[in-house]
Copies of this chain bind each other. A is one copy, B any other.
Amino acid sequence: MPDQSPPEAASQPSPTAATASGEAGADPGPAGVSRRRLLGTAGAAGLVLGAAGGAAGYAAAPAGATPLSSVGSDRAMFHGKHQPGITEPLQARGHLVAFDLAAGTGRPGAAALMRRWSATAERLMAGEPTGHDDTDVARDAGPSSLTITFGFGHGFFDRTGLRKQRPTALDPLPDFSGDRLDPARSNGDLWVQIGADDALVAFHALRALQKDAGGAARLRWQMNGFNRAPGATAHPMTARNLMGQVDGTRNPKPSDTDFDRRVFVPAQGDPAWMAGGSYAVVRRIRMLLDDWEKLSRPAQENVIGRRKADGAPLSGGTETTAMDLEKTGPGGDLVVPINAHARITRPDQNGGAAMLRRPFSYHDGFDTDGTPDAGLLFVCWQADPLRGFVPVQRKLDRGDALSPFLRHEASGLFAVPGGAAPGEYVGQRLLEG
C-alpha cells in the first residue's frame, strides 16, 4: 500500500506556511511551536499548521475580522497511512464514544455507516460544515486540530458476520485484580475518539457523528476529557495529570527507529485489512485524589520514582535522563524504590513492551460525599496489545506502588484500521474485502 500522506503532511511547520494561511504579520508564536514539539518533531506528521484548507470552511474570516490564531487554524489530515488522533499532539478537549450496532444493521449497514462517518469526519477535520443541516455550533471556529478516529470492538465482527476477520489481538483483555469495571461503560461494537483544541468544535463533531449513526447504531457510553490548553505552558515536553505528575516522559517518540513497529500493524500484518492500523486500549482510571493528596511530596515521589516538579528520575538528572535503577542511597536502599511506578513500567523491564499513551484527564464532578470523580481517560496505542498494555498492566497489578491510588472503572479494546485513502472510507478493506 502506498503512503497516502499528502506531501506537506510530513513537512515541518514553518512560519511561511502560517503566513500563507492568512496570519499576515503574526508570528505563529510559541503556542504553535510548543504544540508541535509535544510528541517530538516527527509527531507533527499528519498535522498541517495554519492549513490553507481551513479557509475553505465556514471559518473563513470575513473582511476586517481578526484572523484565526494557530489554535483555530491548526488542521490535522483525515486521509493518510494511519488514522488521525494517534500521533498528533494531545488536544485540549476530547470525547470518547462507543456505539453498538442495532439489530439487523449487519455488514451492509455497517459499511454504509462507516462511509457516512468517514465523509463527515473529513469535512469536520477541514473545518467545513457537515451539510445544510449543520448545527452551526462550530461555525466561526477553525478546525482547531480536530481529529476523529474510528475503531471496531469485539462484538462488531459478530454483528457483521465477519468473525473470521476478527484479529486475535481483539481477544478480551485478561482480568486484573484491581479492576472494578462497569460493563455499561466498557467495550462496544464501535469506538470513536474525538479530540480538538476547542470544546465547541469537539461537541459539534460528537453530535454530527451521533446523528450520522441514525438507526444503524446506538450510543453505548460516552466520556469527556481534557488536557492542557495550547499556549498555557512554557514546558511543552511535559503533560501533567490530575495527580500533578509529569506524564508521558517515556512515551515512544515518532522519531524512534522502532516507533512504527511498536505502534502500527505492518503493511504485511495479520489480518491484512489492519495494515497501518493500531490497537487502542481505553481505560477509565479513577484517581483516588483524596488519598493521594494526603501523601507528602517525598512519599508521592517514591510512589512514582520521579520528582514531581520536573519529572526527573529520583536517581538524578532531568526529565529525559535515563533512570539509574541500581543507584542506592546512604542507607543502601534503592533510590528508585523497587515498586515505583516508573521503574515497573519501563520497557526494558517488560520484555520491550511499549505503547504510545495518549490520554485525556477527566472530571465528572463529585460524589455526594465530596469525593472527586476524576482521573484519566487512559488511551494507549500499540501494534499488539499482548506486547503493549497487557504485560505492563499485569506487572503493575502485581505490586505497583501507584495502584492503591487508582481504580480502573471501565475498559475497552478496539481495532483501529489504517487511514483511509482519498475516496475510501475507514474500514473499507474489512467491510468490502
Contact = CB atoms under 8 A, between A and B. Distances in A.
A103 interface: no
Interface residues of A, number: 77
Chain A: interface secondary structure?
loop
Interface stretch (A133-141, A163-171, A278-286): A133-141
A203 B66 contact: no
A163 B141 CA distance: 48
A140 B231 contact: no
Interface stretch (A4-12, A194-202, A416-424): A194-202
Contacts of A92: 92, 198-199, 229
Interface in A100-149: 132-133, 135-137, 139-142, 144
A188 interface: no
B370 A218 contact: yes
A365 B210 CA distance: 12
Contacts of A227: 199-200
A204 B293 CA distance: 12
A9 to B, nearest CB: 22
Given A137-B244, A363-B203, A29 B232 contact: no
Contact of A65 (B27, B234, B242, B363): B234
Interface in A200-239: 200-201, 203, 207, 210-211, 218-219, 222-224, 226-236, 238
Interface stretch (A67-75, A381-389, A400-408): A67-75
A172 interface: no
Interface string A28-48: 011101100100000000000
A158 interface: no
Given A200-B240, A201-B232, A223 B29 contact: no
B232 A229 contact: no
A374 interface: yes
A232 B69 CA distance: 7
Nearest to A54: B234
B70 A240 contact: no
B137 A66 contact: no
Contacts of A365: 222-224, 364
Given A33-B66, A141-B228, A207-B372, 15 more contacts: A26-B30, A30-B66, A61-B235, A68-B233, A68-B234, A72-B232, A92-B229, A141-B232, A142-B232, A142-B233, A197-B229, A199-B228, A203-B361, A211-B293, A224-B364
17 contacts: A26-B27, A26-B30, A27-B29, A29-B29, A30-B69, A65-B234, A68-B234, A71-B231, A133-B293, A137-B242, A140-B235, A197-B229, A197-B232, A198-B233, A199-B229, A199-B361, A200-B227
